[in-house]
Amino acid sequence: MTQTMRWFGPADPVQLAEIRQSGATGIVTALHDVPNGAVWSRDAIAARKAMIVAAGLDWTVVESLPVHEGIKTGGADCAALIDAYRESLRNLAAHGITVVTYNFMPLLDWTRTDLDWRLADDARALRFEWAAVAVYDLHILKRPNADRDYAPDVRKRAAARFATMSPDQRHALERTIIAGLPGSEGSFSSAALAAAIASYADIDADRLRAHHVAFLRAVCPVADELGIRLVVHPDDPPFAIFGLPRVVSTEADLAALFAHVPNRSNGLCFCAGSLGVRADNDLPGIVERLGDRIGFLHLRSVQREGYRTFHEAAHLEGDAGMAAIVAAVHDLSLREKRSIPMRPDHGHRILDDMIRAGNPGYPLLGRMRGLAELRGLERGIAHARGAVPHNIEG
């Protein structure tokens, strides 16, 4: 695996020099200052790459080139937005970008209900709790007909919990959930989210799948010509939330997507954490069966706590079964003679992370620990099997 770390650009509190010292050789980033739907210019891409290369690192993986909501809803501006997306792909290819990550989740890139959940060892993790989602959805967002999405006992517990929450606690839950909205830094409110959800009122899972397929059929021929793998990130979490459909949650979803759009450029960002929230997803099996589609790896683990509730576990712990996943990736690398870009996804806040500013889920030391553990796991598997995967680092 090619070891990388995500970097959020010049405003990221984690510095490129620190990432280089972690042992990573590559950076995964995006032009986060460019509005969704706008073209990424060649000059802006060149400037970002020059900054990364000057730090002794490389940039070949974009995460993410966002798909505008107008494409997901099939709005009147869909064709123009797809033209802009294709132009961004051309500009990225001109500067050596070979993997472009995206997702097709309506509105929310990810959702958590606690960004600072205390673990037994006092480290801090991200957590998703279904009951807390119900509190927000039913009593703060007040989405019409939201009660249909929750079992009676969940609704009852949500009402009791909301009644005991202080105004500060209610506000904190609101801001935590809205943190997963693109551009949420002070620009989104529950009222804005409610209005955005309403724009999906006529879009069910089947229609969203059709829009996803239409998008790929429009952009994959260009990606094929450019030699870019366009890799979809699975839904996070992998089930419907706030009445919004999710269509990239299971192996069956992925297999259908590849069957509908067989272009070589139509690929997968294998996120062990997102897929691993569902116990019915066979993670090593997905690597084995869909490995030729995998262009990027997010290696993280979650600990399932019960119905639709989980927290981010340490990278080699939790429910993912990381040893079996990395063993499957090792076999894939040997079989296809390629090194797949990998990053340690998310991470606990530990040690000096507690006093450093950072983006939720992306502390320096917690991710560095995860990278070291994953590096050691890969090397141990290679040693035990007596074969070195293609381009294994170190």
For 339, residues 6+ apart whose C-beta sits below 8 A from its C-beta are 1, 2, 333, 389, 390, 391, 392, 393
The whole-angstrom separation of Cα 140 and Cα 137 is: 6
Asked whether the CA dihedral 157, 160, 163, 168 is positive or negative, the reply is negative
Same domain, 241 and 137: no
Q: Between these two residues, 57 and 192, which has the higher pLDDT value?
A: 57
Q: Is residue 168 part of a domain?
A: yes
> Dihedral (C-alpha) 135, 138, 142, 145: value to the nearest 10 degrees?
160
The whole-angstrom separation of Cα 171 and Cα 162 is: 12
What integer pLDDT is reported at residue 389 of this predicted model? 56
Q: Is residue 358 part of a domain?
A: yes
What integer pLDDT is reported at residue 187 of this predicted model? 58
Same domain, 170 and 295: no
Write the pLDDT tens digit of every residue in 225-251: 999 999 999 999 999 999 999 999 999
The domain total for the chain is 2
What integer pLDDT is reported at residue 394 of this predicted model? 40
Write the pLDDT tens digit of every residue in 136-185: 999 999 999 999 999 999 999 999 999 999 999 999 999 999 887 655 45
DSSP string of 10-22, one letter each residue: TT-SS-HHHHHHT
The whole-angstrom separation of Cα 216 and Cα 221 is: 8
Q: Is residue 274 part of a domain?
A: yes
Same domain, 38 and 138: no
CA angle in degrees (0–180, nearest 5) for 165-168-170: 50
> Which tokens sit at 26?
């590559």
Q: Is the bond preceding 184 in cis, omega lying within 30 degrees of 0?
A: no
Residue 388 has pLDDT above 90, yes or no: no
> Which tokens sit at 196?
């955005």
Residue 107 has pLDDT above 60, yes or no: yes
Cα–Cα separations (whole angstroms), residue 383 to 36, 133, 338, 376 = 45, 45, 18, 10
> Which tokens sit at 173?
């839950």
Q: Between these two residues, 182 and 366, which has the higher pLDDT value?
A: 366
- In sequence order, the β-bridge partners of residue 302 are 312
Q: Is residue 8 part of a domain?
A: yes
Write the pLDDT tens digit of every residue in 342-351: 999 999 999 9
Residue 215 is part of which domain span? 2-106+203-385
Active site residues: 233, 271, 298, 345-346, 362
Same domain, 118 and 60: no
Q: Which of 198, 229, 249 is the last residue of a domain?
A: 198
* Of the candidates 75, 92, 98, the residue with the CA atom closest to the CA atom of residue 39: 92
What integer pLDDT is reported at residue 181 of this predicted model? 67
Residue 327 has pLDDT above 70, yes or no: yes
What integer pLDDT is reported at residue 339 of this predicted model? 97
What integer pLDDT is reported at residue 390 of this predicted model? 54
Q: Is residue 393 part of a domain?
A: no
Same domain, 209 and 357: yes
What integer pLDDT is reported at residue 182 of this predicted model? 59
Same domain, 161 and 85: no
- Measure CA 7 to chain center: 14
Q: Is residue 390 part of a domain?
A: no
Residue 392 has pLDDT above 80, yes or no: no
Same domain, 74 and 13: yes
The answer to whether 281 touches 251, Cβ cutoff 8 Å, is yes
364-385 and 322-336 helices cross at what angle (nearest 10)? Answer: 60
Q: Is the pTM of this model over 0.85?
A: yes
Same domain, 213 and 336: yes
Same domain, 228 and 312: yes
Residue 391 has pLDDT above 80, yes or no: no
How buried is residue 298: exposed, middle or buried, by Cβ count under 10 Å (0-12/13-18/19+)?
A: buried
> Which tokens sit at 195?
């209005």
- Measure CA 16 to chain center: 21
Domain of 66, CATH number, reads: 3.20.20.150
What integer pLDDT is reported at residue 100 of this predicted model? 98
For the residues 195-208, what does the mean pLDDT come to? 96
Share of the chain above pLDDT 90, in %: 93
Average confidence score pLDDT of the chain: 95
- In sequence order, the β-bridge partners of residue 312 are 302
Q: Which of 144, 176, 198 is the last residue of a domain?
A: 198
Same domain, 337 and 188: no
Q: Is residue 392 part of a domain?
A: no
Write the pLDDT tens digit of every residue in 245-300: 999 999 999 999 999 999 999 999 999 999 999 999 999 999 999 999 999 999 99
Same domain, 78 and 125: no
Q: Which of 198, 214, 240 is the last residue of a domain?
A: 198
The answer to whether 337 touches 382, Cβ cutoff 8 Å, is no
For the residues 207-227, what does the mean pLDDT come to? 98
> Which tokens sit at 220?
């994959």
